[in-house]
């Protein structure tokens, strides 16, 4: 892998010089191991350009929540909840949502879901970096 080669072979040279290189990746591990500064470009426009720490701070406390309901899910209704965005609808009964816990707490979200029908299953995990990047692309602003 290119990043392992760079990391293991040339890391000291890169750190000790003012070399700029462009790496396109959605692998957060690659970004964290090599970059101090991140630029995100969407449709030819720069939508973010700052430190990796600043990007993480901006992204805040977001979680990906997989929901399975006994009844059909009204995703349009879920999208109207502040800080909640649909990531992927798997079928009429399952959906993945991105929840910004700084806007809507997980407790509020679960409470809201209980009014939508019978919850069959739910899992919560850290958002995938590619989903975060897609969210930034959609909003065109960071």
- Predicted confidence at residue 2, as pLDDT, reads 47
The C-alpha atoms of residue 85 and residue 75 are separated, in whole angstroms, by 9
- Predicted confidence at residue 62, as pLDDT, reads 84
- Predicted confidence at residue 8, as pLDDT, reads 54
**Is the pTM higher than 0.75?**
no
* Token digits of residue 73: 């899910």
Instruction: Report which of 61, 57, 141, 47 is spatially closest to residue 98, judged by C-alpha positions.
Output: 61
The C-alpha atoms of residue 78 and residue 82 are separated, in whole angstroms, by 9
pLDDT digits (tens, 9 = 90+) for 82-120: 888 877 889 999 999 988 888 899 999 999 988 889 999
Which residues, at least 6 apart from 65, have a Cβ–Cβ distance to it below 8 Å?
96, 97, 98, 99, 106, 109, 122, 123, 124
Write down the mean pLDDT value for the chain.
Answer: 77
* Ranges for all domains in the chain classified under CATH 3.30.70: 60-139
- Predicted confidence at residue 49, as pLDDT, reads 86
**Which residues of the chain register pLDDT less than 50?**
1-2, 12
Architecture of 60-139 per CATH? 2-Layer Sandwich (3.30)
Residue 52 contacts residue 31 (beta carbons within 8 Å): yes
Instruction: Report which of 81, 86, 47 is spatially closest to residue 66, judged by C-alpha positions.
Output: 86
- Predicted confidence at residue 1, as pLDDT, reads 44
Instruction: Report which of 140, 136, 137, 138 is spatially closest to residue 58, judged by C-alpha positions.
Output: 136
């Amino acid at each position: 892998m290119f990043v392992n080669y760079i990391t293991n072979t040339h890391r000291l040279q890169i750190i000790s010089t003012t070399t700029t290189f462009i790496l396109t990746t959605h692998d957060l591990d690659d970004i964290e191991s090599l970059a101090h500064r991140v630029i995100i470009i969407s449709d030819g426009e720069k939508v973010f350009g700052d430190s990796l720490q600043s990007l993480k701070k901006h992204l805040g406390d977001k979680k990906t929540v997989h929901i399975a309901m006994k009844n059909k899910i009204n995703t349009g209704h879920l999208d109207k909840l502040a800080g909640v965005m649909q990531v992927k609808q798997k079928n009429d009964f399952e959906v993945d949502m991105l929840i910004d816990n700084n806007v809507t707490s997980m407790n509020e979200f679960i409470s809201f879901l209980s009014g939508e029908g019978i919850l069959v299953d739910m899992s919560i995990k850290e958002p995938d970096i590619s989903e975060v990047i897609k969210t930034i692309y959609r909003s065109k602003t960071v």
